[in-house]
Chain A
């Protein structure tokens, strides 16, 4: 245990008096006022090393084995990965994951930014609107998906509305048609998350001084010009954050698929995360599941780095 420090308030580390003629030694000396002890960080560091780094490395190791969770295992090299790229359902799940992630990224950001711009300043009820539009964000994705499962049901409100306006021909079993189910899942995700993106952009917009926008207007800049030259550069950090968050959240999609379609019809809406769950924990193919999870991890890390590079401040 370290003894109490701070009894001599006059001398501080780094001041000439403390440094004296031994700068190299004084660097190692404890500062006279201590801001906590290094071992305070130990529990958190150990937990992160175990739960994130050791576990992830362990998972990466299993990805090259045929382990079933019990008994011994053999190294199978890249066999698991070959299987992923040979299996049409798994390849489809990879495609679905990427499609959902990019659709999600684009739609939430466009809609969120539009709402933020509409709500920024002047509107009298903007605080109430913000509270209402943000509400879906705090709910469980699973619960939200069940509401939408009802809405997409063949006897549900969407088909009923289409019947009312005379578009019976457009009525569909939205979640049971392979070509539509993925878009239905995307709709639910966008509905639930746009409020979050809106709030991130509102925080960014709050940093744009109105004086500069006024100056721009006086100098003859139109709405579009003001947005492009004044607003957009100022909200660059918000774009980076919202982009990274939505991309990662989209790539990890799981709850909505499990609740809405359970991967169906006929595997048409499987994603990497649902396949990891099914292979590993339902079928006990731990080695193969780990290979799928490693693929998902690699994709998330690669896209995170690319996204960081794309939105980095170029100055």
Chain B
């Protein structure tokens, strides 16, 4: 059974056809972004560019002010990085204590995190926005990082706890018997052994922060710290049907994440498939 037969070959061909059709949007994306302005009207939407140019990219990158794409790239990178660091640090500590706890409060606290995973953010964002406005945190990268850490903490704790439960206690016991303090055991034994867990948490939460539009639009829209989706939204709004420019921005916003995906695709896919389990 499960031999490679003619039927399998047919199946392979059909899936490839489906995959190629579903990847067609990327062809339109690239071919349009390379078209000079005059070709937008003179060529049809699906024709490749006659005289491909990178001018759209240099134009888009040269924009200054609040919607500058370069600035948005930096903002996005810093906010994503800050959020990941906070989530990994506080999430792993909390999940470790909860996963190893045999007391009732540990179970109760874990459920606190579990329920928060399905709680949608829309309702809570209204008081948070008002509170942050009072504290002057609206439109600041710090406020945004704290907000993302809080919002995604349940997911981080849930993912970490799953990994920690599968880790035998022998290593920790051995280190403790050799005289290591709990802090040392955690930092030197548990965390290094749990590097795959940290990778999963960083990828899943980092991707959510990087791509987030709703929260970023509310808290950073119109400020000097707009992230990529927000800047892209405002910038595209000002470009009526200048598809070559719009697609240059879209490509610029996709490059970092696509490069990272193709570099670590196995980890990405495993993270999504196994992490959510």
8 further interface pairs, Cβ-Cβ under 8 Å (given A146-B232, A146-B250)? A33-B177, A44-B94, A142-B211, A146-B246, A254-B213, A254-B214, A258-B233, A293-B122
10 interchain pairs, CB-CB under 8 A: A38-B97, A47-B149, A53-B112, A55-B127, A56-B124, A62-B126, A131-B265, A135-B258, A138-B207, A300-B120
> For window 248-279 of chain A, which residues contact chain B by CB distance below 8 Å?
248, 251-252, 254-255, 258-259, 273, 276-277
- Residues of chain B with a CB closer than 8 A to A160's CB: 44-46
List A residues at the B interface (Cβ < 8 Å): 4-7, 9, 33-38, 40-41, 43-45, 47-56, 58-60, 62-63, 69, 115, 118-119, 121-125, 129-144, 146-148, 150-151, 153, 155-157, 160-161, 191, 196, 199-200, 202-203, 210, 213-214, 217, 237, 241, 244-245, 248, 251-252, 254-255, 258-259, 273, 276-277, 280-281, 286, 289-290, 293-294, 296-297, 300-301, 304
Nearest 9 Cβ contacts at the A-B interface? A51-B150, A55-B124, A58-B127, A44-B94, A35-B100, A203-B273, A59-B123, A293-B123, A41-B94
- Residues of chain B with a CB closer than 8 A to A136's CB: 22
**Shortest distance between the CB of A260 and any CB in chain B (Å):** 12
Answer whether residue B139 sits at the interface, using C-beta atoms and an 8 A cutoff: no
Main secondary structure of the interface of A (DSSP, over half): helix
Contact B272 A199 (CB under 8 A): yes
Contact B214 A255 (CB under 8 A): yes
Q: Evaluate whether A118 and B182 lie within 8 angstroms (CB atoms) in the complex, with A40-B94, A300-B118 already known.
A: no
- Residues of chain A with a CB closer than 8 A to B8's CB: 122-123
- The complex places the Cα of A265 from the Cα of B28 at a distance, in Å, of 25
- The complex places the Cα of A248 from the Cα of B120 at a distance, in Å, of 9
- Residues of chain B with a CB closer than 8 A to A7's CB: 179
Contact A118 B15 (CB under 8 A): yes
Answer whether residue B163 sits at the interface, using C-beta atoms and an 8 A cutoff: no
Chain B residue nearest to A299 (CB atoms) is B120
Q: Evaluate whether A143 and B45 lie within 8 angstroms (CB atoms) in the complex, with A36-B186, A118-B11, A199-B272 already known.
A: no
Contact A199 B45 (CB under 8 A): no
- Residues of chain B with a CB closer than 8 A to A147's CB: 25-26, 28-29, 247, 250
Contact B269 A123 (CB under 8 A): no
Q: Evaluate whether A125 and B16 lie within 8 angstroms (CB atoms) in the complex, with A41-B109, A160-B45 already known.
A: yes
- The complex places the Cα of A14 from the Cα of B122 at a distance, in Å, of 46
8 Å CB contact of A47 from B15, B90, B123, B207: B90
- The complex places the Cα of A302 from the Cα of B211 at a distance, in Å, of 27
- The complex places the Cα of A138 from the Cα of B150 at a distance, in Å, of 22
- The complex places the Cα of A179 from the Cα of B108 at a distance, in Å, of 48
Contact B123 A294 (CB under 8 A): yes
Binary contact track B122-139/A, C-beta < 8 Å → 1, others 0 = 111111111100000000
- Residues of chain A with a CB closer than 8 A to B26's CB: 147
- The complex places the Cα of A50 from the Cα of B186 at a distance, in Å, of 27
8 Å CB contact of A140 from B1, B94, B243, B254: B254
- Residues of chain A with a CB closer than 8 A to B247's CB: 146-147, 150
- Residues of chain B with a CB closer than 8 A to A214's CB: 1
> For window 237-277 of chain B, which residues contact chain A by CB distance below 8 Å?
241, 243, 246-247, 250, 253-254, 257-258, 261-262, 265, 268-269, 272-274, 276-277
Q: Evaluate whether A133 and B109 lie within 8 angstroms (CB atoms) in the complex, with A52-B119, A58-B124, A150-B247 already known.
A: no
8 Å CB contact of B93 from A40, A142, A276: A40
Contact B98 A41 (CB under 8 A): yes
**Shortest distance between the CB of A312 and any CB in chain B (Å):** 15
Binary contact track B184-216/A, C-beta < 8 Å → 1, others 0 = 001000000000000000000001001101100
Contact A150 B269 (CB under 8 A): no
Q: Evaluate whether A121 and B229 lie within 8 angstroms (CB atoms) in the complex, with A38-B97, A55-B125, A140-B210 already known.
A: no
Contact A59 B261 (CB under 8 A): no
- Residues of chain B with a CB closer than 8 A to A43's CB: 90, 93-94
- Residues of chain B with a CB closer than 8 A to A69's CB: 130
- Residues of chain A with a CB closer than 8 A to B151's CB: 51-52
**Shortest distance between the CB of A128 and any CB in chain B (Å):** 9
Contact A143 B176 (CB under 8 A): no
**Shortest distance between the CB of A276 and any CB in chain B (Å):** 5
Q: Evaluate whether A134 and B124 lie within 8 angstroms (CB atoms) in the complex, with A121-B2, A142-B233, A147-B25 already known.
A: no
Contact B265 A6 (CB under 8 A): no
- Residues of chain A with a CB closer than 8 A to B265's CB: 131, 134
- The complex places the Cα of A268 from the Cα of B266 at a distance, in Å, of 40
Chain A residue nearest to B7 (CB atoms) is A122
- The complex places the Cα of A32 from the Cα of B14 at a distance, in Å, of 61
- The complex places the Cα of A64 from the Cα of B86 at a distance, in Å, of 35
8 Å CB contact of B12 from A62, A125, A138: A125
- The complex places the Cα of A293 from the Cα of B118 at a distance, in Å, of 14
> For window 152-181 of chain B, which residues contact chain A by CB distance below 8 Å?
153-154, 157, 169, 172-173, 176-177, 179-181
**Shortest distance between the CB of A149 and any CB in chain B (Å):** 9
> For window 3-19 of chain B, which residues contact chain A by CB distance below 8 Å?
3-4, 8, 11-12, 14-16, 18-19
